[in-house]
Amino acid sequence: MELVKSLKESKLLKYVFLALFGSIVLAISSKIKIPFYPVPMTMQTLIVLLIGIIFGWKLGLATISLYLFEGIIGLPVFSGTPEKGIGLIYFTGPTMGYLLGFLVTVYISGKFIYDSNLIKNFFKLLFATSFIYISGLLWLGNLVGWDKPIFQLGAQPFLLAELFKILIATLLISQIRKIKKFI
């Protein structure tokens, strides 16, 4: 009985560590800006996909929830922080819909079964990523008004970079499947 309790505690400790590690990697990815056309890109959405693929949907949701909690309480983990504000004020700004979309994306990317078919895997990840933009555009439209060119402001400049990141995640799946056995 004591052995079972010890094993459960060590498994929980491992998951807490992985969620914390994932939230740190996601925070770092939000700060690195890579020159890209037409706007610089961060690697946040790639990391959200990878967290889902590697951790699965349960641990993935816990990791993204921890990341969002860290940002809401004022840790400068989001892309525009601390320059553009921190905490709940920043969170409820124009990017809130995209940040909440991370939850849906990590859930979907963590639920999929991936195989060696690159085209199917690419479209699965494209589908998962679309929820970041759907929720982001819905929130942005409600925030700034639907009379503005919402798609041109909140999605179009980022689509080429998103396709690139989805392609990277697709190509990494075969390697991820090998290391996932250890998690």
**DSSP assignments along 30-67, one per residue:** HH--B--SSS-B-SHHHHHHHHHHHHHHHHHHHHHHHH
Instruction: Please give the share of the chain, as a percent, with pLDDT higher than 90.
Output: 81
pLDDT at 123 over 90: yes
User: Which distant-in-sequence residues (6+ apart) come within 8 Å of 80 by Cβ?
Assistant: 90, 95
Coil, strand, or helix at residue 133?
helix
Domains in the chain, CATH or no CATH each: 12-182 (1.10.1760.20)
Angle at 133 between CA 129 and CA 89, to 5 degrees: 120
User: Which distant-in-sequence residues (6+ apart) come within 8 Å of 96 by Cβ?
Assistant: 139
- Residue 37 identity: Y
Confidence grade of residue 169 (pLDDT, cut at 50, 70, 90)? very high
Could you give the residue ranges of the DSSP H alpha helices within the chain? 2-31, 44-72, 87-91, 96-111, 118-144, 150-154, 159-179
Average pLDDT over residues 146-153: 95
User: Which distant-in-sequence residues (6+ apart) come within 8 Å of 7 by Cβ?
Assistant: none
pLDDT at 7: 67
User: Which distant-in-sequence residues (6+ apart) come within 8 Å of 58 by Cβ?
Assistant: 110
Span 45-88, pLDDT tens digits = 999 999 999 999 999 999 999 999 999 999 999 998 888 889 99
CA 115 to chain centre: 21
Whole-number CA gyration radius for the chain: 17
